[in-house]
């Protein structure tokens, strides 16, 4: 692939403001630590400039304050108003993985597509994929190897399902959704009744999962269908790998939920909620908008006020930090108390 710097400037003008230097050709995308001549390299800190300059990369993409520190001649620079957004725009537009191999047909002969399924002409169905009865798959969607879409599910426009994804019966995915390998959407929720002998009896889970537009779900996640009604994930939300979302959970819009999150049944999570790794949330709670759950937070009660929280029991972040600092001093405090007790006994003695 050969690309001109001026083309990138024109097509990503919402995040690029200027081109300084010659209009050179770009043949690849490289990192500041591992790059070669012809590469485009993103630089957001001064300490990352030396190696790309030495190796003679084709183009730097940098914010204005970094561009001002680069040599005034002999270097081509795309100046970005937002370097992170520029990286996303350029990498997606020109260097992203091609999910539609030119040497393979849009319907792989090893795919199984039910005669009642409605698959858009521009959709791509990979080897070993199974598309069930009355499934609808929208234009531009891609089902890679081994994907299973069960009966009556609906897949929107420009959806990407990576290898081994399972979309359960009657579940719905909106437009521009990406689901990484091994994830199950619409697995049966954890519902059981216990008799007097403490034997367990399965309660069928008859709802579905509704995933809105622009959601990205990582690898090996489990999203359980509702007992009745839907488990839902709002538009623009992002789930990392190894997340578990139980039956009838409602997740709002533009959330960022990182690895090993576990949310129990019927909990409601608001908009723009952020969780760090290994956060656990029990059932039937309400988490408000703009809440940050950090440091393996264990959430056992509603969190209504925006802000950062952490720990078990859950505390506002500043209180959690103070309590952790005090916890580290307990041994020293214990020794001090023992010393004071001994002195008191001697004085009384």
Please identify every residue annotated as catalytic. 247
Residue in this structure with the two tokens 């997340």, named with its chain if needed: 243
Residue in this structure with the two tokens 């001090």, named with its chain if needed: 336
- Sort residue 325 into left (φ over 0), alpha (ψ -120 to 50) or beta: alpha
Q: What separation in angstroms does the CA of 166 have from each of 162, 253, 299?
A: 10, 23, 29
Question: What one-character-per-residue DSSP string does 75-129 give?
Answer: -EEEEESSHHHHHHHHIIIIIS--SS-TTS-SB-TT-EE-TT-EE-TT-EE-TT-
Question: What one-character-per-residue DSSP string does 139-193 give?
Answer: TT-EE-TT-EE-TT-EE-TT-EE-TT-EE-TT-EE-TT-EE-TT-EEEEPP--EE
How far does Cα 132 stand from its chain's mean position?
28
Cβ 296 vs Cβ 314: under 8 Å: no
Residue in this structure with the two tokens 């108003």, named with its chain if needed: 81
Query: In 10 A of CB 20, how many CB atoms?
Result: 16
Q: Which two tokens stand for residue 149?
A: 């879409």
């Amino acid at each position: 692939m050969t690309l001109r710097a001026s083309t990138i400037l024109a097509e990503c003008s919402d995040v690029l403001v200027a081109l300084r230097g010659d209009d050179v050709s770009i043949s690849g995308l490289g990192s500041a630590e591992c790059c070669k001549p012809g590469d485009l390299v993103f630089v957001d800190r001064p300490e990352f400039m030396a190696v790309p300059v030495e190796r003679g990369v084709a183009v730097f993409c940098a914010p204005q304050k970094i561009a001002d520190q680069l040599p005034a001649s002999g270097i081509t620079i795309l100046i970005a108003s937002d370097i992170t957004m520029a990286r996303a725009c350029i990498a997606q537009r020109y260097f992203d993985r091609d999910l539609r191999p030119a040497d393979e047909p849009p319907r792989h002969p090893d795919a199984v597509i039910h005669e009642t399924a409605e698959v858009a002409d521009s959709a791509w169905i990979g080897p070993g994929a199974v598309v069930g009865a009355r499934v609808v798959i929208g234009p531009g969607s891609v089902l890679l190897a081994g994907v299973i879409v069960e009966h009556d599910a609906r897949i929107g426009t420009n959806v990407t399902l990576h290898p081994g994804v399972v979309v359960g019966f009657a579940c719905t995915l909106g437009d521009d959704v990406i689901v990484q390998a091994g994830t199950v959407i619409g697995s049966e929720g954890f519902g059981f009744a216990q008799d007097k002998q403490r034997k367990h009896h399965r309660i069928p889970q008859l709802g579905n999962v509704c995933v809105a537009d622009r959601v990205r779900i990582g690898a090996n996640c489990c999203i359980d269908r509702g007992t009745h009604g839907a488990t839902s994930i709002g538009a623009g939300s992002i789930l990392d790998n190894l997340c578990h979302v139980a039956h009838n959970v409602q997740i709002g819009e533009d959330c960022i939920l990182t690895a090993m999150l576990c949310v129990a049944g019927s909990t409601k999570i608001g908009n723009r909620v952020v969780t760090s790794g290994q956060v656990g949330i029990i059932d039937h709670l309400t988490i408000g908008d703009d809440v940050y759950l950090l440091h393996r937070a264990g959430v056992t009660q509603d969190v209504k006020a925006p802000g950062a929280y952490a720990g078990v029991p859950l505390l506002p972040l500043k209180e959690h930090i103070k309590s952790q600092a005090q916890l580290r001093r307990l041994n020293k405090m214990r020794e001090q108390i023992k010393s004071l007790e001994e002195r008191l006994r001697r004085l009384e003695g």
